[in-house]
A and B are shown apart, each in its own frame.
Chain A
Amino acid sequence: MIKFDNVSKQYEAGRDALSQVSFDVAKGEMAFVTGHSGAGKSTLLKLILAMERASNGQVMVDGINLNRLARAKIPKHRLQIGTVFQDHQLLFDRTVGDNVALPLQIAGFPYQDTQRRVRAALDKVGLLQKEKLMPEKLSGGEQQRVGIARAVVNRPRIILADEPTGNLDPELSNEVMKVFQQFQSVGVCLLVASHDRELIARLNCRTLTLEQGKLIGDG
């Protein structure tokens, strides 16, 4: 589903944020991406989202070579990926419910359907009673969970999560991971960037380890 083939990324000349990374994540598979701060985890996810382009090598997503993806096709590509951003990326001028509804609105879902799915997604992250609140009234962890609800509401084929449990206590982290595993069990491909070693160890998942842009461990 997601395939990196000898991928390098340089933001500025001479320094690789990613260097010659190759791996392959199948559908129905969940993998962690770990490594120190600045190792290139976010960069890896940005390449999959076509926010950045690889300097070298090929990124394939669902059989599509992102190097050759036309700009006009990027929105459709992103719509089938649910993403939890490291910095949440919520819209602060609309309610929690409307934030979560955004991917459905973009995809053109009918209103009733949208409402139903938004509540289901908020329920999964334990925020159903905050649907009508504005995001700024929420704590950091709650905002993060809104981001998670938004990422899964569209039932995407791929879920990317950048430090989804960064602001959460172990109990909530486990809840979120359970949601992720539910999606994994129905065939969704998940890539989760995290440096929460305990969590990774507990889940016993495949782990891609980055160090200064190089993939030094896969297993």
Chain B
Amino acid sequence: MTAKRKRTRPQPSAGNQRLQLHRQVARESLQRLLASPLSSGITVLVIAIALFLPALLYLLNSNLNAGLVGAADNTRLTIYLQSNISNTNEQAVSEYLLSKFGSESIEYISEEQAMESFSRSAELGDLLTSLPDNPLPAAFVVSPQLDDDTEIENLILELETMEGVELVQLDRLWLQRLQALSDLLTLLSRALALVVLVGLLAIVGNTIKLLIEHRRQEIQVIKLIGGSNSYIARPFLYTGLMLGLTGGLCACLLIGLMGLNLATAVAELSDLFGGNWRLNGLDALQYLTLVLTGGGIGWLAALIASYRNIATIEP
């Protein structure tokens, strides 16, 4: 144009200005959200519950795993002996075990010792002492430092064929079962997370789509004046982000409340069984991850909804 007129061009490189613009857009989209508190509230609640479920599953699983890690260190092999075992056979078993393990990792529990510890630890004790004969077998308890499962299995097979051995029991069996359960839980929580992701994208996306439809006329006017699709999408992206972050925060609140209630119950249960399991809650980083996941999903849903719906609105 004419050189006479001086044009002051916007300088988008100035970070301060950009921040100011973004703050303004953010304020605007917050106002819009608060303008329809019911639908915003419901969307936030849906996000919160949807995030809460996989997070809870994750929490339970990680607690289970923590327990498993602790328990895996004290794998025990118990070799129950027949009550009428001869001294030579008992000697043979003992020597075999000594040849495999150091004497410090082998413990012999006689019938009397078994009886004694049982009557001390459980209410069954009274019942047992009232019996005419001691039904408890003598046993060797070994803590094998073997990591290789096949090695342990071979050992068990060997022991089971020995004369006078009633039963060989590996404590690890239930550990393995728990491990399998934990693996299943992991798989489940991943599947659930995927379902939740897709579901939330659809639900939040639909909320944003409705908001866009609601502002159809406004969008047409902005397009007439020269607003691009991404300019129009910006406040909706903020809306999605805010819905998601708030939903994530609410999910954290739910987890926190649930943790408080569960923790005492778990502690009581654990005390009943003479264990010392305690429910671990989420740490700060995990809470943050939950909030950010909510925000990310909300933002992504808004992004998809915006690009699918804004471009089709033509003046």
Binding site for B on A (CB under 8 A): 27-28, 49, 51, 72, 75-81, 83, 85, 89-91, 93, 102-103, 105-111, 113, 150, 155, 157, 186-188
Scan B219-236; emit 1 where CB is below 8 A from any A CB, else 0.
011111111110100000
| Closest chain A CB from B34 CB (angstroms) | 14
- A27–B11 Cα distance when bound, in Å, is 26
- A51 pairs with B222, CB closer than 8 A: no
| Closest chain B CB from A214 CB (angstroms) | 26
- B226 pairs with A85, CB closer than 8 A: no
Residue of A nearest to B314 (CB): A51
Scan B192-229; emit 1 where CB is below 8 A from any A CB, else 0.
00000000000000000000000000101111111111
Residues on B with beta carbons closer than 8 Å to the beta carbon of A81: 226
Q: Do A90 and B221 contact each other (CB < 8 Å), given the known contacts A75-B226, A113-B8?
A: yes
Q: Do A49 and B224 contact each other (CB < 8 Å), given the known contacts A106-B231, A108-B10, A109-B10?
A: yes
- A23–B255 Cα distance when bound, in Å, is 71
| Closest chain B CB from A117 CB (angstroms) | 9
- B5 pairs with A187, CB closer than 8 A: yes
- B4 contacts A by Cβ under 8 Å: yes
Residues on A with beta carbons closer than 8 Å to the beta carbon of B218: 91, 93
Q: Do A75 and B2 contact each other (CB < 8 Å), given the known contacts A89-B221, A91-B221?
A: no
Q: Do A27 and B10 contact each other (CB < 8 Å), given the known contacts A49-B224, A79-B225, A91-B218?
A: no
Give the size category of B's interface with A. 20 to 34
Scan B3-29; emit 1 where CB is below 8 A from any A CB, else 0.
011011011101001001100100000
Which of A78, A90, A187 meets B226, CB within 8 Å? A78
Which of B11, B20, B224, B229 meets A89, CB within 8 Å? B224
The 6 A-B residue pairs with the shortest CB-CB distance in the complex, in nearest-first order: A79-B226, A78-B226, A187-B2, A75-B228, A108-B10, A110-B17
| Closest chain A CB from B101 CB (angstroms) | 75
| Closest chain A CB from B142 CB (angstroms) | 74
- A107 pairs with B10, CB closer than 8 A: yes
Which of B2, B10, B225 meets A78, CB within 8 Å? B225
Residues on B with beta carbons closer than 8 Å to the beta carbon of A110: 10-11, 14, 17, 20
Which of A106, A186, A187, A188 meets B225, CB within 8 Å? A106
Residues on A with beta carbons closer than 8 Å to the beta carbon of B8: 113
- A108 pairs with B5, CB closer than 8 A: no
Binding site for A on B (CB under 8 A): 1-2, 4-5, 7-8, 10-12, 14, 17, 20-21, 24, 218, 220-229, 231, 315
- A51–B314 Cα distance when bound, in Å, is 8
| Closest chain B CB from A197 CB (angstroms) | 28
- A108 pairs with B225, CB closer than 8 A: no
- A108 pairs with B2, CB closer than 8 A: no
- B225 pairs with A83, CB closer than 8 A: yes
- B224 pairs with A85, CB closer than 8 A: yes
Residues on B with beta carbons closer than 8 Å to the beta carbon of A106: 222, 225-228, 231
Which of A89, A108, A113 meets B12, CB within 8 Å? A108
- A205–B185 Cα distance when bound, in Å, is 81
- A111–B16 Cα distance when bound, in Å, is 11
- A51–B224 Cα distance when bound, in Å, is 8
| Closest chain B CB from A159 CB (angstroms) | 13
| Closest chain B CB from A205 CB (angstroms) | 20
Residues on B with beta carbons closer than 8 Å to the beta carbon of A89: 220-221, 224
- A108–B17 Cα distance when bound, in Å, is 9
| Closest chain B CB from A184 CB (angstroms) | 11
| Closest chain B CB from A31 CB (angstroms) | 18
Residues on B with beta carbons closer than 8 Å to the beta carbon of A109: 10
Q: Do A83 and B224 contact each other (CB < 8 Å), given the known contacts A51-B315, A108-B10, A155-B7?
A: yes
- A188–B231 Cα distance when bound, in Å, is 26
- A108–B227 Cα distance when bound, in Å, is 11
